[in-house]
Amino acid sequence: DETLEALGDANTVAPATRTADLHSQSHRNSYLYVFDYQTKFGDYPQ
């Protein structure tokens, strides 16, 4: 299960990171926000 979760995350994170890197090369302000707030009653407890 953990391997599948890591691969699923990689399919989302890697393209987003690559896009941010490419955008930043145009010498414009680039921001990549990471939302990792976990609510008390979240669907995915940690």
Q: Give the DSSP H or E segment for 5.
A: helix 2-24
Contact between residue 42 and residue 36 where contact means Cβ atoms under 8 Å apart: no
pLDDT greater than 80 at residue 23: yes
With a CB cutoff of 8 Å and minimum separation 6, the contacts of 20 are 30, 32
More confident residue, 43 or 29: 29
The answer to whether residue 8 scores a pLDDT higher than 80 is no
Greatest alpha-carbon pair distance for the chain in Å reads 41
Whether the pLDDT of residue 44 is over 70: the answer is no
Q: Quick check: pTM over 0.75? A: no
Q: Give the closest residue to 20 by CA, choosing from 7, 33, 35, 36.
A: 33
Tell me: pLDDT of 13 over 60.
yes
In which band, very low, low, confident or very high, does the pLDDT at 42 lie, cut at 50, 70 and 90?
Answer: low
Indicate if the pLDDT at residue 2 is higher than 70: yes
